[in-house]
Amino acid sequence: MADVALDARISEKAKLALRRIFGAASRATPTLLEAKFGKRPSWTVRGESGAIVGAAVVDEVPGKSERITILVASGPDGRLKDLEVLAYRESYGGEVAQEAWRAQFRGKKPGDPLRVGRQIRNISGATISTNSVSAGVSRSLPVLAGLLGIP
Amino acid sequence: MRSLLRSRLATILLTASGAAFAEGESKTTLGGYAEAEYVNPVAGPFAKSHADVHRLVLFVAHGFDDKLSFHSELEVEHVLTELSKKSTTVTTIDKVSANGDSVKTKSGSVLTDVSSPGYVAVEQAFVDYRLGTTAGFRTGLLLVPVGIVNETHEPNTYHGVHRPLYANSFIPTTWRDLGIIAYGNPVEGLHLKGGVMAGLSGSKIGGASGLRSGRQKGGKSNAENLSLVARAEYTLPFAKLGLGSWFGGTSGGDTAIGDGNFDGSVLVVAGDVRAEYQGLFVRAEGGVIELPDAEKLQAVHKKNPGERMVGGYVEVAYDVLPLLLPETEQALLPFVRYEKIDTHFEVPSNVVGNPANSQTQIVAGLTWKPHSQVSFKADYTWLRNETGIGGVDLLKLGVGCSF
């Protein structure tokens, strides 16, 4: 699996997403994470008091013919806090970025089944994107738990 | 999930051809789909079973950057296409013998063209330019944005070995032609597209398969009648709703019908619903096709077009596998589809309505998906028409995948 590097534009979108998810007062410290599936840009995030409030990682998953870049953010308990689509490069099937679809992942913990069509709704006509993004969240959650020191 | 050839191969190929822009974000993607079938006519006039690789399709796409990309789909149907020469021995009377009998001598052979059942076709070839995150346009050989199956026709996306009858004889899938289509998402959940495409040819529209033979398919299409196309799609949490339309002339500039852009016009309006909830899948499509100039088309081309055609289907499928194996990643879906189409729902005064063009089809079967992109299929199809004769029962087995 390929490593993921961020260009300036996506890097800026990731910073905005972190501020949205963890609050404007939070401070994200970048770390380079070497997962089994490749190197991933990631952050540990501290709140105003200095306590760790979560962690986030950027993953890239295949769409129908273009990559989809997502940011997966966990709270201090390792459960998914939010998911953001940083870049969707295809013309059709962009519904995975919709709030109602992303909301289904909130609160999921590492190892939770995220099967499209069961725990996660499919979007007709966007089957490849929905399966890919679910798989990206599935593999990112344990990696974030590792970053947060959760066994 | 197409494999990325982001790769040295693409770089080397482009470099070898002298292009200097292979660096950076540009990349080539390969994908495709294939489907094979065994069809046994259990009852009806066709006695012979057949086995066939119905379609093998390769996708090649290239992203020049994050906004500009090329997409293509190249198809081979029925395995091979060749125009071979069949040799026939010809005997000629050379001379007449003394007792009056003619003496035949071989004088050689005549070669006649014999074509195999298959064909090769380009189904899509277009450049897509995204102008923002939510809007853009594509131009080239495009799919007509009407109906579910015309735009999404990979074999793992529908139930049954064959595509619905509605997607064959009503919406003539795969319906494509040259054109330009703009698209955009004005609000979250709503996807709109609309544009202009080369028209249908009225010279072959008619009979049981309606518009099907009228497709020009983008091979030197007569572009005298530019047609308008539009589609709206709305995504709800558990369903997607679609409404597509085509409006255009079919005269091809033939003055006997009229050389105006919309002479010999065809109007298609078709709606669709796809709903999914906890393993239950429901699909429905329905539409109407109007040919107000059907009488003129009949007077010139004599293909018996209807003045109004109607069609639709409802399909229900349910994934039973999680009931047996709660942890499974696979799916096993019994399904049933009920379809009705009538290409002679109304006929002009110079066409005799043919009740055989009013067809009802029921397909019941099983789809096993060991992976979301691979389907093993079995179904039983009852196809009947209003005359009560010529009905067929088919037992079909198939396999299909896309990647």
Q: What count of other Cβ atoms lies within 10 Å of the Cβ of residue B349?
A: 8
As a whole number of angstroms, the longest Cα–Cα distance in chain B is: 95
Cα angle: B94, vertex B98, B101; to 5 degrees: 55
Q: Does the beta carbon of B191 lie under 8 angstroms from any beta carbon of chain A?
A: yes
pLDDT for the residue B278: 85
Residue of chain A minimizing CA distance to B70:
A65
When CB atoms are compared, the residue of A64, A66, A95 closest to B235 is: A95
Nearest-by-Cβ selection for A117 from B128, B191, B279: B279
Between A151 and A4, whose confidence is greater? A4
Identity of the residue in B6, B151, B189 whose CB atom sits nearest the CB atom of A98: B189
Q: How confident is the model at residue B7 (pLDDT cuts 50, 70, 90)?
A: very low
Alpha carbons within 13 A on the beta-carbon side of B217: 14
Average pLDDT, stretch B126-138? 90
The alpha-carbon gap from B264 to the nearest alpha carbon of chain A, in Å, equals 33
Q: Which of A133-142, B19-28, B188-197 has the lowest mean pLDDT?
A: B19-28
ipTM (interface predicted TM):
0.73
pLDDT at site B46: 67
* pLDDT band, residue A116 (cuts 50/70/90): confident
pLDDT at position A81 is 96
- How big is the CA angle at A113 (ends A110 and A116), to the nearest 5 degrees? 130
pLDDT band at B326 (very low <50, low <70, confident <90, very high): confident
Q: Is the pLDDT of residue B31 over 80?
A: yes
Beta bridge partners of B309: B289
User: Cα–Cα distance between B380 and B237 in angstroms, integer?
Assistant: 33
The dihedral sign for the CA sequence B316, B322, B324, B330: positive
- pLDDT for B4 beyond 70: no
- Contact between A17 and A71 (Cβ < 8 Å): yes
pLDDT band at B19 (very low <50, low <70, confident <90, very high): very low
Chain-chain contact of B2 with A65 (C-beta, under 8 angstroms): yes
DSSP A31-92: EEEEETTEEEEEEEEE-TTS-EEEEEEEEEEE-SSSEEEEEEEE-TTSSEEEEEEEEE-SSS
Would an 8 Å CB–CB cutoff place B66 in contact with chain A? Answer: yes
Q: What is the pLDDT of residue A82?
A: 95
Give pLDDT, residue B343. 97
By CB atoms closer than 10 A (0-12, 13-18, 19+), residue A99 is exposed
Q: Enumerate residues 245 to 274 of chain B having a beta carbon within 8 A of any beta carbon in chain A.
A: 274
Residue A12: per-residue pLDDT = 92
**Residue B14: its pLDDT value, please?**
35
- Residue A21 distance to chain B (closest CA, Å): 20
pLDDT of residue B275: 94
Nearest to B188 among A98, A113, A127 (CB): A98
Instruction: List the A27-35 sheet strands across, edge first.
Output: A27-35, A38-46, A52-62, A67-74, A80-88
Rounded to a whole number of angstroms, the distance from the CA of B2 to the nearest CA of chain A is 6
Q: What is the pLDDT, as a whole number, of residue B91?
A: 62
pLDDT at residue B206, rounded to an integer: 93
Can you give the pLDDT at residue B94?
A: 60
φ, ψ dihedrals at A102, nearest 5°: -65, -35
Confidence of residue B12 (pLDDT cuts 50, 70, 90): very low
Average pLDDT value over all residues in chain B = 88
- At B24 the pLDDT is 43
Cβ atoms of B38 and B389 within 8 Å: the answer is: no
pLDDT number for residue A119: 87
Chain B: give the shortest CA distance to residue A142, in Å.
19
Handedness of CA A8, A13, A16, A17 (dihedral sign): negative
Does B315 reach chain A within 8 Å, measured CB to CB?
no
Going by the DSSP 8-state scheme, the letter that residue B170 receives in this structure is I
- In tens, the pLDDT along B197-256 reads 999 999 999 988 899 999 999 989 999 999 999 999 999 888 999 999 999 999 998 999
Judged on CB neighbours under 10 Å (0-12, 13-18, 19+), B8 is: exposed
Task: Tell whether the model's pLDDT for residue B61 goes beyond 70.
Answer: yes
Cβ–Cβ gap B276/A99 under 8 Å: no
Confidence of residue B106 (pLDDT cuts 50, 70, 90): low
Contacts of B239 (CB under 8 A, 6+ apart): A124, B273, B274, B275, B276
Whether residues B130 and A91 touch (CB distance < 8 A) is answered with yes
Among chain B residues, CA nearest to A89: B66
Return d(Cα A93, Cα B98) in angstroms, integer.
85
Do you find a cis peptide bond into B174, omega within 30 degrees of 0? yes
Under an 8 A CB cutoff, do B183 and A95 touch? Answer: no
User: In whole angstroms, what is the distance from residue A126 CA to residue B157 CA?
Assistant: 11
Å between A65 CA and nearest CA of chain B: 6
For the ranges A2-6, B20-24, B167-171, the lowest mean pLDDT is seen at: B20-24
Q: What is the pLDDT of residues B296-319, one digit of tens each?
A: 999 999 999 999 999 999 999 999
> Fold for domain B4-8+26-82+114-402?
Porin (2.40.160)
Q: CA B191, B195, B199: angle at the middle one, nearest 5?
A: 135
Is the CB of residue B237 less than 8 Å away from at least one CB of chain A?
Answer: yes
Q: What percent of chain B has pLDDT over 90?
A: 70
Residue B144 CB coordination number (10 Å): 25
Nearest chain B residue to A128, by CA: B1
Residue B10 pLDDT level (bands cut at 50, 70, 90): very low
The contact set of A with B (CB < 8 A) is 2, 62, 64-67, 87-89, 91-92, 94-95, 98-101, 113, 115-118, 121-125, 127-128, 131-132
* B9, pLDDT greater than 50: no
Domain segments of chain A: what residues?
8-147
Helix (H, G, I), strand (E, B) or coil at A27: strand
Q: From the centroid of its chain, how far is CA B111?
A: 34
Mean pLDDT, rounded, of chain A: 91
Residues of chain A contacting residue B4, judged by C-beta atoms under 8 Å apart: 2, 62, 67
Proportion of chain B in helix, strand, coil states, percent, rounded to 5: 10, 55, 35
CB < 8 Å from A in window 273-292 of B: 274, 276, 278-279
Average pLDDT over residues A123-148: 92
List CB contacts (< 8 A) between B327 and chain A: 113
Q: How far is B32 from chain A (nearest CA, A)?
A: 11
Contact A121 B29 (CB under 8 A): no
As a whole number of angstroms, the distance between CA B291 and CA B214 comes to 13
